[in-house]
């Protein structure tokens, strides 16, 4: 028997195997959740990976290391809505109770198998998107830019092309 191959169908095994292969330090919480810290180009992020074996789903949440004060939540919500409009995979979320900001990517593999390549893609998209948009979020929080300006700077020409394509459909 080959002990290096994850058990077919066990999503948590595939994810932990990927983390171990990539030398990612993690800790397992409650059997269904993994926690790991990552250094981005701009900030450090905490990632929670939640696995729902019975539903065949995995969810990756990266936490942006800021706590949005009550009086800033409306402007941050605008920033997040503008950011989400251009994203193809995942979404930003603002917890209006706590002020935490997270980015979530997920996959449903019902009828199939989770692969290490899928895990790599989910994690890479999650962390790179979080790191990219966190800079704009910080600038919005500290009054340097309005949400529309921050998104325009981050997305540049891709936002203009997307809006032109949407206008052509209307």
pLDDT in tens, 5-40: 444 569 999 999 999 999 999 999 988 899 999 999
Separation between Cα atoms, residue 52 and residue 110, nearest integer Å: 11
Between the CA of residue 80 and those of 86, 91, 128, 157, what are the distances in Å? 10, 8, 16, 19
Per-residue pLDDT reduced to its tens digit, 47-67: 999 999 999 999 999 999 999
Tell me the pLDDT band of 92, cut-offs 50, 70 and 90.
very high
pLDDT at 6: 44
Separation between Cα atoms, residue 40 and residue 53, nearest integer Å: 29
Give the CA angle between residues 135, 137, 143 to the nearest 5°.
105
Q: Which of 42-46, 132-136, 153-157 has the lowest mean pLDDT?
A: 153-157
List of domains in the chain:
11-169 (3.30.1460.10)
Separation between Cα atoms, residue 130 and residue 138, nearest integer Å: 12
In the chain, what are the helix, strand and coil shares in percent, each to the nearest 5?
Answer: 45, 25, 30
**Could you give the 3-state DSSP secondary structure of residue 68?**
coil
**Could you give the 3-state DSSP secondary structure of residue 29?**
strand
Residue 71: which region, alpha, beta or left (left: phi > 0; alpha: psi -120 to 50)? alpha
Tell me the pLDDT band of 144, cut-offs 50, 70 and 90.
confident
13 Cα distance to chain centroid: 21
């Amino acid at each position: 028997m080959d002990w290096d191959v994850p058990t077919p169908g066990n999503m948590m095994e595939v994810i932990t195997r990927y983390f171990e292969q990539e030398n990612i330090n993690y800790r397992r919480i409650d059997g269904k959740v993994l926690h790991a810290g990552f250094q981005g180009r701009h900030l450090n992020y905490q990632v929670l990976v939640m696995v729902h074996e019975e539903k065949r789903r995995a969810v990756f949440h990266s936490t942006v290391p800021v706590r949005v004060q009550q009086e800033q939540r409306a402007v941050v919500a605008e920033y997040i809505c503008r950011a989400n409009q251009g994203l193809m995979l995942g979404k930003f979320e603002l917890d209006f109770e706590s002020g935490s900001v997270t980015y979530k990517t997920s996959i449903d593999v019902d009828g199939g198998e989770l692969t290490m390549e899928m895990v790599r893609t989910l994690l890479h998209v999650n962390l790179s998107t979080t790191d990219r948009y966190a800079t704009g979020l910080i600038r919005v929080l500290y009054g340097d830019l309005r949400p529309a300006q921050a998104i325009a700077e981050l997305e540049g020409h891709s936002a203009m092309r997307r809006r032109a394509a949407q206008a052509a459909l209307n």
